[in-house]
Amino acid sequence: MAITLPDTVQLPTLSQTLTSEVNRRIGRAMHDYSMLDDGDKVMVAVSGGIDSLVLAWLLLHWQKKAPITYQVLAVHLDMGFGAIEATQVNDQLCRLGINFHTETTEFGKKALETENGRSGCYYCARQRRNRLFELAKEKDCNKLALGHHREDIIETFFINLLYGGNLSTMVPRQDLFHGKLSLIRPMAYLDKTDIIDIGSKLGVRPVKNPCPLSETSKRQEVRDLMATIYTKDPMIKSTIFSALGNVRKDYLLKPTSF
């Protein structure tokens, strides 16, 4: 289902919504990783959470200050947990005046049936990711924008460290399929509190994740762990984030059978 609606709600402008510091961080992330180019067709993956809704609005209105021209299309995949959440997401996108496409799947339902839900998160994420790639190709989009922020990047590093046995994380830009599609994360330098502040100014009402496993995932465990660490010393977040770009390979071990 593809829907195009005019902007029917008077929302704050970009300059009224973004503080100078937040504006600087977004611009810096886009510049550091060359996220947008003239003529891009950008598909924004919208789950319904505050992050993805804010990102869709941000990219739509960033066009007004960018020295390039690009198109924006929001895409929401209904994971099959119920129609209410999908309708709520659609309502938010309509209110923000964003062109969007909604598609119903059974990824979530099937994920819960996979090994009684034990590996459901992996299955669901993989299916959702693959379908987004397919839709980007179908919609002739060369960029896929995701609403991940600084905490997400740090959490992913610790998930991979603690449960995957490797040192890696999300990157602000990742080129796939021989450069035909690029994943971009324009809010990579923002904190969750920055995004919540933007959403509050816009009157965005995030849609609760309907997945029954959302509060018991490995990511939630790591998120709770990091929250405890940040409480003891708020500067640790910035230190960890800086460390992810300051890797000293000569002081890491060689691959081992362990």
Instruction: Give all domains of the chain, ordered by start, each with its CATH number.
Output: 2-245 (3.40.50.620)
Please provide the average confidence, as pLDDT, over all residues in the chain. 89
For every residue of 90-128, which 3-state class applies, written as one string?
A: HHHHHHCCCCEEEEECCHHHHHHHHHHHCCHHHHHHHHH
Distance CA 221, CA 48 (A): 22
The average pLDDT across 43-69 equals 95
202, burial (CB in 10 Å: exposed 0-12, middle 13-18, buried 19+): buried
Tokens 């937040």 correspond to 22
> pLDDT digits over 80-138, tens only?
776 688 889 999 999 999 999 998 877 766 666 665 545 567 777 888 899 999 999 99
- Whether the pLDDT of residue 145 is over 50: the answer is yes
The predicted model scores a pTM of 0.90
39 pairs with which residues across the strands? none
